[in-house]
């Protein structure tokens, strides 16, 4: 329950705008009055909360380079249907979209929710995403003037909103995670790549063209490996989970003992997830490889601390499953490469949202952009 003043403060919107918006939502039945706030010496203010009886839902989709996950939330962010996962390696081939569309249609129809009760579909995805134009310039390059958002909206029959996965992970941290109530936060998306979402002055920062946060392509690697972007020396070539898995396989082939040898035989999970769980369980090989990667990430973050002076850095995304194992090498690198006066003003934290963060961010994307009806 929140008062209008509290809503104004939390949303960084003017009190008149919040008052008018809440009034409209009350009239439409999405928000209800819920008594009076405690007295502060003057007239007690009314409090408001979402109407749990108003049935509206959001379809939330989280894509990475290998899999796509979908779930349906209500407006209280409760999961209405268990998430489902599709093995769906991303490519530039737009023909693959038919597989994605079929998967999402089946999931939505299987929920039993009426179409007019769904506010829209929010999708987070890797790549250079222009959220305003609805275009992903890295994957799904459609012919002619068609946009990815337009195509998916037409095929699914709902309003579709897309954004970069790291930006949505940061949005989730801002609204529901470690970044709630803070102004300047960096959120590292540790996964098949190494992304970055930036919260500046309490809002997601996307840069001039919407592509800010390409952390993984900072040239910090000493190797001569070719990155997926076509350049050499990118941070990604030494920190991507795909690379770490290959390193582990090469080490085991050279005779190093690890429980990963057994885990990798289980194809019910992705090798990267096995690797993270092995590291969390203390497997020496996995811990060693992950620690080296985390140190490099910390070195990159030291540079960003000098530039951004953030209050908090959140280590999130799929890699946050490894938990505290990431903390020591990241903090070590920051201590080594960052000016102490700046380093001591920045807190490092592991995300508590874990693999839910992108799904939550995609849901928020819909709620913040849709028109309630």
pLDDT in tens, 144-179: 778 999 999 999 999 999 999 999 999 999 999 999
pLDDT value of position 45: 87
CA distance 217 to 115: 41
pLDDT value of position 94: 64
pLDDT value of position 8: 80
Kindly state the average pLDDT of the residues 93-115: 91
Give the tens place of pLDDT for each residue, 14-36.
888 888 888 888 887 778 888 88
Distances (CA, A) of 341 to 63, 306, 313, 346: 38, 10, 16, 10
Distances (CA, A) of 328 to 195, 225, 292, 295, 339: 20, 26, 11, 8, 18
Where residue 57 falls among pLDDT bands split at 50, 70, 90?
A: very high
pLDDT value of position 24: 81
pLDDT of residue 95 exceeding 70, the answer is no
Selected residue with higher pLDDT from 9 and 347:
347
The answer to whether 297 and 330 have CB atoms below 8 angstroms apart is: yes
Kindly state the average pLDDT of the residues 71-87: 93
Where residue 354 falls among pLDDT bands split at 50, 70, 90?
A: confident
Q: Which residue has the tokens 């582990």?
A: 248
Where residue 304 falls among pLDDT bands split at 50, 70, 90?
A: very high
pLDDT of residue 373 exceeding 60, the answer is no
CA distance 115 to 221: 49
Residues in CB range of 312: below 8 A, 6 or more apart = 178, 179, 182, 184, 185, 186, 346, 347, 348, 349
pLDDT value of position 153: 96
Average pLDDT over the chain, rounded to an integer: 90
Least confident window among 40-44, 138-142, 359-363: 40-44
pLDDT of residue 92 exceeding 70, the answer is no
Residue 43 corresponds to which tokens in the numbers above?
């007239």
Give the tens place of pLDDT for each residue, 259-301.
999 999 999 899 999 999 999 999 999 999 999 999 999 999 9
Give the tens place of pLDDT for each residue, 236-269.
999 999 999 999 999 999 999 999 999 999 998 9
For the whole prediction, is pTM greater than 0.85?
A: yes
Residue 135 corresponds to which tokens in the numbers above?
């275009």
| DSSP E strand stretches across the chain | 2-3, 31-36, 46-50, 57-63, 67-74, 79-87, 118-125, 129-130, 135-136, 160-164, 185-190, 194-200, 203-205, 312-316, 347-350
């Amino acid at each position: 329950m929140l008062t209008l003043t509290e809503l104004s403060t939390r949303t960084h919107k003017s009190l008149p705008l919040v008052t008018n918006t809440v009034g409209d939502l009350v009239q439409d039945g999405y928000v209800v009055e819920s008594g009076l706030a405690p007295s502060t010496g003057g007239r007690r203010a009314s409090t408001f909360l979402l109407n749990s009886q108003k049935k509206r839902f959001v379809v939330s989709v989280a894509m990475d380079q290998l899999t796509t996950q979908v779930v349906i939330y209500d407006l209280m962010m409760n999961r209405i249907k268990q998430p489902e996962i599709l093995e769906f390696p991303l490519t530039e081939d737009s023909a693959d979209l038919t597989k994605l569309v079929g998967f999402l249609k089946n999931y939505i129809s299987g929920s039993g929710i009426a179409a007019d009760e769904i506010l829209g579909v929010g999708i987070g995805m890797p790549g250079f995403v222009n959220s305003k134009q609805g275009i992903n310039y890295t994957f799904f390059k459609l012919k002619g003037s068609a946009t990815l958002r337009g195509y998916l909206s037409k095929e699914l029959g709902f309003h579709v909103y897309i954004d970069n996965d790291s930006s949505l992970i940061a949005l989730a941290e801002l609204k529901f995670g470690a970044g709630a109530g803070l102004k300047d936060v960096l959120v590292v998306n540790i996964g098949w790549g190494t992304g970055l979402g930036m919260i500046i002055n309490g809002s997601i920062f996307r840069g001039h063209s919407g592509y800010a946060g390409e952390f993984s392509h900072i040239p910090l690697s000493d190797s001569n490996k070719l990155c997926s972007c076509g350049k050499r020396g990118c941070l990604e070539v030494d920190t991507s989970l795909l690379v770490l898995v290959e390193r582990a396989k090469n080490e085991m082939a050279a005779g190093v003992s690890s429980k990963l040898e057994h885990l990798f035989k289980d194809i019910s999970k992705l090798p990267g997830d096995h690797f993270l769980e092995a590291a969390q369980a203390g497997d020496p090989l996995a811990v060693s490889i992950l620690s080296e990667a985390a140190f490099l990430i910390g070195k990159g973050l030291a540079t960003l601390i000098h530039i951004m002076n953030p209050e908090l850095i959140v280590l999130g995304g799929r890699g946050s499953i490894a938990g505290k194992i990431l903390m020591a090498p990241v903090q070590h690198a920051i201590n080594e490469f960052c000016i102490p006066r700046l380093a001591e003003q920045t807190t490092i934290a592991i995300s508590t949202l874990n693999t839910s963060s992108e799904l939550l961010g995609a849901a928020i994307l819909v709620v913040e952009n849709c028109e309630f009806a």
